[in-house]
Structure formats: structure tokens, C-alpha cells
Amino acid sequence: MRAGLSQIALAERSDKDRVQIGRYEAGTVAPSLDTLGDLVRACGFDLSLELVPVDEASVSALAELQQISPERRVDRLLDRLAPDGGS
Amino acid sequence: MPRQPERFDPRAILGALERNHVDYVLIGGLAQVIRGADITTTSVDICPSFGPGNLERLAATGAELGATTSDGGAVELTDATIGAEPVVSLTTAVGALRIIGSPAGAPKGFVDLRRGASKEHLGHGVQPQVASVGDLARLASALRRPHDVERLAQLRRIIELDADREPRPVGSTEPARKPSRSASRSARRLTR
């Protein structure tokens, strides 16, 4: 999308099958990492992969938030915004 | 002089939108909070329908809330004013109301977002249509501001957690199931 290429143009540039690119775009099939790299390069970009540590505290906080209702999530936000709130 | 809200009361703003029968999808930070993001926000961001009469109902909501522009001016909500500005920011006594007709990442705006949106009960009879977590991630990905990048990571994690929470068959001994196809699709689309 950012490269402004149609599926046909991307297929020609990357030497991949247009139908398969359509499947990738629809999300019905996932490309391999090598294929993804080829497609990204054909779009004029490079794919940078970086190992970073998992933020366990953040993951845990998000998991806890998934256990409460949307109503309580809003209440929690308002508690945090209150003058004597958490943050 | 810009008016400062006395307190942020999103339910008051959303309630006024409902009383005036405004068609919209809630997006932005408040929608992210409702979907489970661990962030703070002090504005209600909406993507309104441009359907017949809706902007008039939105203008009536602004009047009910005593909304002004951020510099204290009078509010004018029409196709032209909303179309001309990426974000129309209104100030009310209960917080900011930001109107975004065509958010980055959803060029058709309301039409794009309403498909994945769902009605969420927020108490006090307030039930806004809230953009899906996948759509919120797409919007954050398109904006690419520093805080959007941080929020995008949270939204991706929420998509994964949602997929993991899907019920397993009774008696299953599988420790965890793979993300559903729709969840995987949502996560993959974020990169596009």
C-alpha cells in the first residue's frame, strides 16, 4: 500500500505469482520470511528485524485489563486521571 | 482564552451523542482504553457518518455540550468544515471532542470502520459503537507518531491475547490454541 503498487505490478517486480500475492493481502495465506523480504524489497523497502526483550510487566498489565469489562476499563482511566489518581 | 475542561467525563459526551442520535464510530485513545490498552487520554475521538442529517445532529450535540473551538470560537459543523480539517477539535466543560472525518488508515472513514465496530456498554446507559482493535491498530499504524507506535505494540498484544482467550473444546488437553484465522489476518494486515 505504501509503495502504491497494484498486485500485478508487485508480482512483476518480485517475480511472484499475482494470485498468491492476493492471498497474502487477504490474509488467507502467510508468506515465509524469505518471501516477505522479497516482497518488501520489491516495494522499495527493507525489512529490519530486531530482537528485543519482552516487557513482562506490560504484558501482564494488558492481560489483566482483558479480564475486566469495558465499563471498568473506563472507570480505571478516570481513576487514573483524578487529581489523587494513580498517574 | 482557551477553555479548560473542569473534568474529563467521556460518558457525558457519549451520552449527548446518543441522545442526539449521532451515527459515529469511537476511535482514538478512549476506544483503545475500552479495547483494553493501558494508556491515558482526555479526549473523545469520533469518526462520524456523513449520512443525511447526521452532521446536523452532531452540531446539536455540540450545542448541548456548550462546545467551542479550542480558541473559544463558535462551532460550525458542516461537510465543508469537517472535510477541510483533518481533525476538528471542540472544547467542552467535560473534555475534548475531536471529530475526524477521514482518519489516516481508513480513507472511507465511518464506512470503513463501522464494519468491524461493536457496541460496548460503558455504564450509565452509554453504549457507543467502538472501532475494532484491528482497525484501531491500523489507524495507529498509519499515523506513526511516537505515541502511536507505542500504542500499536499494545494493540497487537491485545489481538494476540484475544485470540488466546477464544474458548477451547470441553475436555481439550491442548495447552493453548493458535490464534484464529481472523485474528491472524488482523495482525498481518497491520503491516500493510
Q: Which of A66, A71, A87 sits opposite B123 (nearest CB)?
A: A71
Q: Report how far residue B59's alpha carbon sits from residue B65's, in angstroms, rounded to the nearest whole number.
A: 10
In total, the C-beta contacts within 8 angstroms joining chain A to chain B are 67
- Residue B179 vs residue A27, higher pLDDT: A27
Q: What is the pLDDT of residues A56-65, one digit of tens each?
A: 778 888 999 9
Count other C-beta atoms under 10 Å from residue A54's C-beta.
Answer: 8
Q: Report how far residue A58's alpha carbon sits from residue B112's, in angstroms, rounded to the nearest whole number.
A: 30
> What residue in A sits closest to B150 (Cα-Cα)?
A58
Domain boundaries, chain B: 10-189
Looking at residue A6, what is its pLDDT? 85
Cβ B10 vs Cβ B44: under 8 Å:
yes
Instruction: Give chain B's mean pLDDT.
Output: 84
Q: What is the mean pLDDT of residues B123-134?
A: 95
Evaluate if residue B97 carries a pLDDT over 80. yes
- For residue B89, what are the β-bridge partners? B98
Evaluate if residue B181 carries a pLDDT over 50. yes
Which three cell numbers, joined as nine digits, stand for B94? 467535560
Looking at residue B86, what is its pLDDT? 83
Evaluate if residue B156 carries a pLDDT over 50. yes
Q: Test A1 with B192 for CB contact under 8 angstroms.
A: yes
Looking at residue A50, what is its pLDDT? 79
- For residue B90, what are the β-bridge partners? B69, B97
Cβ B54 vs Cβ B60: under 8 Å:
no
> Whole-structure pTM over 0.80, yes or no?
no
Cβ B91 vs Cβ B2: under 8 Å:
yes
Q: Which residues does chain A have within 8 Å of residue B35's beta carbon, measured at their own beta carbons?
A: 70
Q: Which of A67, A69, A74, A84 to mutate to test the interface with B (most CBs of B within 10 A)?
A: A74
Q: Which of A38, B27, B144 is nearest to B10 (CA)?
A: B27
Q: What is the mean pLDDT of residues B66-80?
A: 82
pLDDT above 90: percentage of residues in chain B: 58
- Residue A75 vs residue B6, higher pLDDT: A75
0.95 surpassed by complex ipTM: no
Q: Which residues does chain A have within 8 Å of residue B192's beta carbon, measured at their own beta carbons?
A: 1, 25
Reported as a pLDDT band with limits 50, 70 and 90, residue B171 is low
Q: What is the mean pLDDT of residues B128-136?
A: 96
Quick one: residue B144, left, alpha or beta (phi over 0 = left, psi -120 to 50 = alpha)?
Answer: left
pLDDT above 70: percentage of residues in chain A: 92
* Architecture in CATH of B10-189: 2-Layer Sandwich (3.30)
